[in-house]
Structure 1
């Protein structure tokens, strides 16, 4: 397979595997959950899942990673710019996906707080 086809395929698989990351957080409550808690948790997780993993920040991280990787690949005696750019794009996308996952977790926790649950973490 050509490197130009491997990168988008690998990125798609990676982001697909991360689809639920950040949404399956088990919140820590200060006290016992009330009767509405499970319903609210499900609704907040759905809200977080609707936030795209492939957002502007993730794409920007991939682009920056590609630029840095390309430069480093060109400078390296044994490397090449295309290989470096591909590796950098994947690394940047992974970093951006991790940030998106953290945002999703924060959405779940803040959503529960907004619904009146005593979430501490």
Structure 2
């Protein structure tokens, strides 16, 4: 079981590392013509989004909720100490991964909003 936990933790680290700036590299769909400053504006908006961390303030709560839900369900259905502990660890990892994915979506929203504030008609 130790191998499974280690694999889960390594997978989470790889996921976060791979996705760290994926939201910041988002390129919005612009309706209409773009001016000569488009590349500069996009780079500045992406830089603003990239300054955000890989996790947001709710990631800890997501990890706790995942651990509680998985551990509690396992305790009710299969009340063995090691199973509950392992389920709680898996739930916490799932919560952390969900927090990382949400943060990447937040970064893409930052890029969209930044481009809108610079006068671009962002449609997606």
- Is TM > 0.5 for Structure 1 vs Structure 2? yes
CA contact (8 A) 1:27 1:109 kept: yes
- Per-residue CA shift, 1:35-64, capped at 9, x if unaligned? 100111111111111111222211211111
CA contact (8 A) 1:53 1:101 kept: yes
Residue aligned with 2:58, SS: helix
CA contact (8 A) 1:73 1:83 kept: no
Question: Which has the larger displacement, 101-110 or 90-99?
Answer: 90-99
TM-score (structure 1 length as normaliser): 0.85
**Residue 12 of structure 1, CA deviation:** 2.5
Aligned residue number for residue 2 of structure 2: 2
Structure 2 portions without partners, runs of 5+: none
TM-score (structure 2 length as normaliser): 0.83
Equivalent of 1:110, from 76, 88, 113? 113
2:51 is the counterpart of 1:46: no
Structure 1 portions without partners, runs of 5+: none
Number of aligned residues:
121
Residue aligned with 2:111, SS: helix
